[in-house]
């Protein structure tokens, strides 16, 4: 190992989490693997925890560390049907030993998957473009919107994260550090009833209207409003279903597109629908997907109306070397089948409700829990100073995250203030595992000094 390259970073590098490892704040010797990682990836290191965990294996809802300790994974929304699910492993293993090519050739495994994926969407969204990452899908979606709308203005929520390419970082407030949002991007607050007298639906539509006007003042016609319908990185806002309706009407009236970023809420996680947008009874122009699509096999994509894709492709050629390869298709097909056969959408709803119910009991006894919200197995637990719901407490969130880690549960935080725990276990979670989480959370909270 090139020891001379080890560099202690000047500050924590973090995206979407208040819980990053901070080499600058670290005291004492780094463990050898951590030192090696920092030497290898430099400033791009984004590690979790004061002492990052070395993981060696995982199965279902559990990960095993190098020291033998087992962790219940309530953080990672990628292995959504469970870590190393045997059906997905078998599908990848079988296909990668048979054929792995690009989409310049025909292969029925790919179209079997494309058919199955399309069957989950409204019939009008009949064209699929597969790619490698949610970032790539959103990058393409934004360009489809520009080609369709003729506009340049983008509306996002104030703590949104949509990915890592250049144009997508530009619309991801939570990924920006020293620099601000560019001129063509205007934010709206996540839809919540905090301080609103009007309904969330009306208030959010009014915000969108103001954002469109602001873009207009800056000389930008609206191109698109893009949101993750569960507002994950804003702190998880799910209710009441339908609150997006008037906002989307407003976007469409202004000639903009509605891009539903389903990279986080999609594939049955919210329990009461397969897609987050479906909970709101709205019709997207483009839907993007990623993370859980292949349960960890790198794959992503979008669906849209054929005429939108055609308009874009008239100007610019688009080809993804890895996107839509048959191994990805096999992984994706296994994921869809497992969700159906193991009734994971129903399970997400059931376990999510169970957790919410039990958490409300915990909250009744601990006034640092300001709110428990969310849908299915995508919940947010907002933490505040004791009894002061309007005073977000990121420190207690950080203490809870590290306390849960000590107790063998992995979880992250989100929101503008980093004070909302994100609950995102595999959809295959058992009630026993759900109870372990709630019990250990209650235990962690009671062990913390009152704030």
Residues in 59-118 that interact with a second copy by CB under 8 A: 63, 66, 76, 78-79, 83-84, 89, 92-93, 96-108, 110-111, 114-115, 118
Footprint on residues 154-183 left by a second copy (CB under 8 A): 164-167, 169, 174-179
Tokens of 312: 């874009």
- Pair 408, 392: CB distance under 8 Å: no
- Binding a second copy by CB under 8 A: which of 248, 309, 421, 427? 309
What is the x/- site pattern for a second copy, positions 310-349, by CB under 8 A?
A: x-xxxxxxxxxxxxxx-xx---------------------
What is the x/- site pattern for a second copy, positions 281-300, by CB under 8 A?
A: ---------xx----xxxx-
The CA-atom distances, in angstroms, between 109 and each of 96, 135, 397 are 12, 25, 45
Closest among 122, 166, 101, 139 to 322, alpha carbons compared = 101
**Shortest spacing between CB 349 and a second copy, in angstroms:** 25
Size of the site for a second copy (CB under 8 A): 110
Tokens of 279: 């909970």
Q: Is 54 in the site for a second copy (CB under 8 A)?
A: yes
Footprint on residues 121-140 left by a second copy (CB under 8 A): 123, 126-129, 131-136, 139-140
In the complex with a second copy, which residue's Cβ is closer, 45 or 369?
45
Q: DSSP per residue over 201-225, as a string?
A: HHHHHHHHHHHHHHHHHTT--EEEE
In the complex with a second copy, which residue's Cβ is closer, 58 or 359?
58
Tokens of 400: 């809870």
Footprint on residues 387-406 left by a second copy (CB under 8 A): none
Closest among 395, 420, 423 to 409, alpha carbons compared = 423
Q: Is 52 in the site for a second copy (CB under 8 A)?
A: yes
Look at strands 70-73 and 62-65 and give their pairing: antiparallel
Tell me the C-alpha distance between 419 and 414, whole Å.
7
Q: How far is CA 8 from the centre of its chain?
A: 29
- Pair 188, 155: CB distance under 8 Å: yes
Q: Which residues contact 197 (CB under 8 A, 6 or more apart)?
A: none
Q: Is 26 in the site for a second copy (CB under 8 A)?
A: no
Q: Is 46 in the site for a second copy (CB under 8 A)?
A: yes
Tell me the C-alpha distance between 441 and 444, whole Å.
5
DSSP classification of residue 45: -
**Shortest spacing between CB 330 and a second copy, in angstroms:** 12
**Dmax of the chain from CA atoms?**
63
In the complex with a second copy, which residue's Cβ is closer, 78 or 283?
78
In the complex with a second copy, which residue's Cβ is closer, 142 or 205?
142
Binding window for a second copy (CB under 8 A); candidates: 119-127, 234-242, 416-424, 435-443: 119-127
Q: Is 376 in the site for a second copy (CB under 8 A)?
A: no
**Shortest spacing between CB 89 and a second copy, in angstroms:** 5
């Amino acid at each position: 190992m090139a020891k001379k390259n080890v560099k202690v970073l000047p500050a924590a590098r973090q995206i979407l989490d208040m819980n990053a490892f901070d080499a600058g704040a670290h005291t004492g010797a780094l463990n050898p693997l951590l030192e090696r990682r920092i030497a290898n990836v430099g400033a791009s290191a984004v590690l979790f925890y004061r002492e990052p965990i070395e993981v060696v294996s995982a199965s279902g809802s559990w990960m095993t560390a190098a020291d033998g300790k087992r962790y219940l994974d309530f953080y990672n929304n990628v292995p959504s049907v469970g870590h190393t699910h045997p059906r997905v492993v078998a599908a990848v293993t079988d296909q990668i030993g048979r054929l792995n090519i690009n989409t310049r050739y025909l292969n029925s495994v790919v179209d079997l998957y494309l058919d199955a994926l399309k069957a989950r969407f409204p019939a009008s969204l009949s064209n699929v473009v597969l790619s490698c990452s949610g970032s790539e899908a959103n990058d393409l979606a934004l360009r489809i919107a520009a080609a369709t709308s003729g506009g340049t203005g983008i509306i996002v929520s104030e703590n949104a994260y949509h990915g890592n390419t250049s144009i997508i970082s530009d619309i991801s407030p939570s990924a920006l550090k020293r620099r601000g949002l560019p001129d063509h991007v205007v934010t709206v607050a996540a839809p919540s009833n905090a301080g609103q007298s009007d309904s969330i639906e009306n208030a959010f539509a009014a915000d969108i209207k103001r954002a469109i006007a602001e873009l207009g003042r800056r000389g930008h016609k609206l191109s698109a409003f893009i949101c993750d319908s569960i507002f994950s990185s804003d702190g998880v806002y799910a209710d009441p279903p339908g609150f997006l309706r008037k906002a989307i009407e407003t976007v469409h009236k202004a000639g903009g597109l509605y891009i539903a970023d389903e990279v986080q809420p999609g594939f049955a996680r919210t329990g009461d629908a397969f897609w987050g947008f479906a909970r709101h009874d709205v019709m997207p122009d483009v839907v993007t997907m990623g993370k859980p699509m292949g349960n960890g096999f790198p794959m992503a994509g979008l669906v849209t109306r054929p005429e939108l894709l055609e308009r874009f492709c008239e100007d610019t050629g688009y080809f993804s070397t890895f996107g839509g390869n048959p191994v990805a298709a096999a992984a994706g097909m296994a994921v869809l089948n497992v969700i159906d056969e193991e009734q994971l959408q129903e399970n997400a709803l059931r376990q999510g409700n169970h957790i919410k119910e039990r958490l409300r009991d915990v909250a009744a006894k601990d006034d640092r829990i300001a709110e428990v919200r969310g849908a299915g197995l995508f919940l947010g637990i907002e933490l505040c100073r004791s009894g002061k719901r309007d005073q977000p407490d990121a420190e207690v969130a950080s203490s809870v995250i590290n306390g849960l880690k000590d107790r063998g549960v992995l979880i992250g935080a989100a929101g503008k203030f980093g004070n909302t725990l994100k609950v995102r276990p595999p959809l295959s979670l058992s009630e026993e595992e759900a109870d372990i989480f709630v019990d250990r959370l209650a235990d962690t909270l009671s062990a913390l000094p009152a704030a």
